[in-house]
């Protein structure tokens, strides 16, 4: 077993999943405390572990190590999603078969953690840093806590690790979740001709939003056209013979870099005004898109199979909002992330060690 695979097996054994209905939150700090001495052994001048509140209110954590004054860092998230249905083995026990290492977080993104640690054994870093941070899978509160620290200010370049199938990601969509709520008196369905019907009004809004998405199918830069507008849910009914007193509509879109958010908000407001001004709007999630021209591209290009946009959101957008040049790259494939029997190939781990060692050396 390679050094990276051996390390990864130990990291997988730490449950760091976000909470769900059947399992509570994992312990991000325990994993951070485990890797802190490993970073010190690799010559870090300073290693700090901090607790920060996750989006769900539970305690999360990050560990930050520096060699000198970091201008460039590798950033890997330590948390995972909950284990999906369909696992054929224990998600927290690593298993190697046919050149693949299986385990929850193997691709997303504990494989990158292991590769980083092995790379730092190979190369003595200088003016370099490593940030292993939590809460990425839920709401990025831990990252926001780190970005508010003095340590974050001097950083200029960030390698954000995600399973990109060896692509170097220079852009990706954002995520915008929105919700509309409408209240009414409710009542017996025999009075449905006379009383307000929140679900019917919200259904009209849903159709209007879907039409707005269809009108934008060809908007946006090459490789990221359209808004991926999704009508996610219409809820409120309790029985066939009851007029609901409350209706709720949820939708999302994935805005491309350069998306005109003000024009979108204005169009939604016009739809609401035309259907029922009593409809209340709220934003449930608001992650900005990402696009960055970075000198890291040329350093990564010899290792990358492709340079360009990615299909999924990453915390590179948060770094970019704070003026940092970022690129997204890492071992594994996003197709394996969040799936049962998640894996990363041993070849990808070795590739990542070479890449991260080069980034630390340069």
Identify whether the C-beta of residue 25 lies closer than 8 Å to the C-beta of residue 15: no
SS3 97: strand
List Cα–Cα distances, 104 to 5, 63, 145, 307, in angstroms.
14, 20, 25, 27
In the set 27, 108, 135, 136, the catalytic residue is: 136
CA distances from 27 to 13, 177, 215, 338 (A): 11, 28, 45, 18
Helix, strand, coil share (%) of the chain residues, nearest 5: 30, 25, 40
Quick one: CA dihedral 211, 212, 215, 218, positive or negative? negative
CA distance to 20, 27, 50, 76, 269, per residue, from 30 (Å) = 19, 6, 11, 16, 46
- Which residues does residue 178 pair with via DSSP β-bridges, in sequence order? 251, 283
H/E run at residue 168? strand 167-172
Q: Is 286 helix (H, G, I), strand (E, B) or coil?
A: strand
The contacts of residue 185 (CB under 8 Å, 6+ apart) are: 195, 196, 245
Is 136 in the active site?
yes
Q: Is residue 109 reached through a cis peptide bond, with omega within 30 degrees of 0 on the bond before it?
A: yes
Of 28, 79, 135, 248, the catalytic one is: 79
Please, which residues have CB within 8 angstroms of residue 253's CB and are 6 or more apart in sequence?
A: 176, 213, 227, 228, 229, 230, 264
Sequential DSSP letters for 246-259? EEEEEEEE-PPTT-
Cα dihedral across residues 299, 325, 255, 260: positive or negative? negative
Q: Which residues are catalytic?
A: 79, 136
């Amino acid at each position: 077993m390679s050094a990276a695979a051996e390390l990864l097996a130990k990291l997988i054994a730490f449950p760091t999943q976000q909470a769900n209905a059947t399992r509570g939150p994992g312990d991000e700090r325990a994993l951070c405390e485990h890797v802190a001495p490993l970073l010190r052994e690799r010559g870090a001048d300073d290693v700090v572990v901090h607790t920060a509140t996750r989006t769900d209110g539970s305690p999360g954590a990050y560990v930050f190590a520096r060699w000198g004054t970091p201008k460039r860092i590798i950033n890997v998230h330590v948390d995972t999603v909950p284990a999906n249905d369909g696992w054929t083995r224990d998600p927290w026990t690593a298993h190697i078969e046919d050149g693949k290492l299986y385990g929850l977080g193997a691709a997303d993104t504990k494989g990158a953690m292991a590769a980083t640690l092995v790379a730092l054994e190979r190369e003595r870093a200088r003016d370099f840093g490593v940030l292993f941070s939590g809460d990425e899978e839920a709401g990025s509160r831990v990252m926001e806590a780190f970005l508010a620290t003095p340590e974050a200010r001097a950083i200029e370049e960030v390698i954000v690790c995600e399973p990109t199938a060896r692509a170097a990601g220079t852009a990706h969509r954002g995520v915008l979740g929105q919700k509309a709520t409408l209240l009414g008196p409710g009542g017996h369905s025999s009075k449905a001709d006379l009383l307000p019907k929140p679900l019917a009004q919200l259904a009209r809004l849903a159709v209007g939003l879907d039409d707005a998405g269809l009108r934008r199918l060809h908007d946006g830069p090459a490789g990221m056209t359209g808004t991926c507008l999704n009508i996610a849910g219409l809820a409120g009914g309790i029985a066939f013979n009851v007029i609901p007193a409350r209706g709720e509509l949820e939708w999302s879109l994935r805005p491309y870099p350069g998306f005109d958010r003000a024009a979108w908000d204005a169009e939604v407001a016009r739809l609401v005004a035309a259907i029922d001004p009593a409809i209340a709007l709220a934003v449930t999630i608001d992650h900005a898109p990402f696009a960055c021209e970075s000198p890291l591209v040329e350093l990564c290009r010899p290792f990358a199979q492709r340079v360009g946009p990615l299909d999924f959101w990453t915390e590179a957008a948060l770094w970019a909002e704070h003026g940092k040049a970022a690129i997204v790259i890492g071992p594994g494939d996003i197709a394996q992330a969040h799936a049962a029997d998640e894996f990363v190939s041993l070849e990808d781990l070795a590739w990542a060690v070479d890449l991260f060692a080069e980034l630390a050396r340069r």
